[in-house]
Amino acid sequence: MTGLSSNGDSVSEGELAAASAQYEFVLDSDLPSLRASDQWWNEDVHKRRLHEGSDKALAWLEPFAPVSLVQALPLQSARTEWGPMQAAAIAKELRAVIRERRKAKQPHDELLRALYGACLLADFVKALRFEYVQPHQLARFVDIRAVQSTDLHYPAIGYQAVEALGKTDIKWLVAAFGEPAEHRPVAQALAPLIQGAVSRYCWEELRSSSSYGNDRADMQKWLAWQVGIRLQIEKDDAGRASDRLARFERDKIAVESLPQAWAATRQSFVVADLETTGLDSAVDDIIEFAAVRVSPQGAVLAEFAALVNIGRPVPPFIVGLTGISDADLQREGQALVDALDAFLLFVGAAPVFFHNAPFDQGFVNRACQSTNRKLANPVYDTLVMARAVWPDAESLKLRDLAWRVGAPEPTHRALSDARATLAVLLAARDAKGVDAPG
């Protein structure tokens, strides 16, 4: 679910300058591009290595945890195409191994160090951001030499500011290695790595842009444009006060339907997501449908994705956010009526789950109205279900919930986001204690 609109107040120059100040380091650090061999992690290279069964498939782990140790353990999360983006799930699997070793009274100090490294890696990935650019996109701009020269050990960084560490993890670490000399925020301790990656990304993007030159002044303008988009989105979101009452009523209805929503997961169901050109279903368009059909036990039975040729340019911000270009839609996109028919055929009569369902439902309903179709299925909102299960959650955004449950981060493509929504839904169902049919 993505989009951009401009319904709120415009961003002032003062607000733009204040928000851009955090990227001052970029202006004076035009770092050279990295050779492939110097990249800490590259998604395409990683996928190829996994496919080929290369010994280097887990090389990205080495600064944080010994590759030989991980290779000797049945850690499935370390062997997925998401690599370091699965750090939280790797830590979860390590905890299980440590508990078994402790129960058997076997040595496990190396496992504790690996657990600490996995948690530190999880925090590093979380901090590896630039505006709406995701960690998996920035990771290839991280210099492996800089990672290897950074002290990533427990005594150097401590535990108080490592968010991914649990209370039991800390208890184990202190018992095994004592209190560290200091506790440093991860973003501070790893600032050179993060800033280096952000700087390389920004300068490469600037150099590839035909709208700017490539000097310091041009970078300042480019950064201001990037930050301005984010600030405008935030203002637009805040400016929707007139919708709050209607949203409250929708949420009230959604909460009242929670028993039916949980019950709907005990049969075959569908989790779906859309990508759009904006936030307003009255004027913006669907550019991608996706859905996942799921068994009552939570197994994926089938997947569906279709691009929509909207017949007009995709906004540049949406291209940058989703990676869906005009060329993609012209080459692979279907007419709206054909993509919608395929989506409705895939969904069938099953209950459908969206994250923030009113958004997606608004676009689907408008598409149905314009093509004389109808989505008559029961529709449920995983955002409301997550709020019921985790009332203490600081954020109910799909990205943050995926992080919470140890699922791969959504990438602003509809199928990826549908998969993340499914992971959140199944974790919420487990936490709720809703038993899947045997």
Active site residue 355: no
In this structure, are residues 57 and 50 in contact, taking their beta carbons and an 8 Å threshold? Answer: yes
Q: What percentage of residues in the chain have a pLDDT greater than 70?
A: 94
Q: Which domains, ranges and CATH numbers included, belong to the chain?
A: 24-206 (no CATH), 244-432 (3.30.420.10)
Look up residue 315 and give its amino acid: P
Please say whether the dihedral angle defined by the alpha carbons of residues 345, 349, 355 and 360, taken in this order, is positive or negative. Answer: positive
Q: Whole-model pTM above 0.75?
A: no
* Residue 438, SS3 per DSSP: coil
Give Cβ neighbours of residue 301 (< 8 Å, ≥ 6 apart). 268, 293, 294, 295
Instruction: Give the pLDDT score at 244.
Output: 55
Mean pLDDT for the stretch of residues 39-68: 92
Of residues 108, 136, 355, 412, which has the active-site annotation?
412
Instruction: Give the pLDDT score at 236.
Output: 76
Residue closest to 202 by CA, chosen among 395, 339, 28? 28
Quick: pLDDT tens for 147-198: 999 999 999 999 999 999 999 999 999 999 999 988 998 888 999 999 999 9
Phi, psi of 288 (to 5 degrees): -155, 135
The secondary structure of residue 100, as a DSSP letter, is H
Q: Please give the Cα distance from 124 to 53 (Å, whole number).
A: 26
Quick: pLDDT tens for 291-329: 999 999 999 999 999 999 999 999 998 999 999 999 999
Q: Please give the Cα distance from 78 to 117 (Å, whole number).
A: 13
pLDDT band at 6 (very low <50, low <70, confident <90, very high): very low
Count, in order, helices (H) and strands (E) of the chain.
22, 5
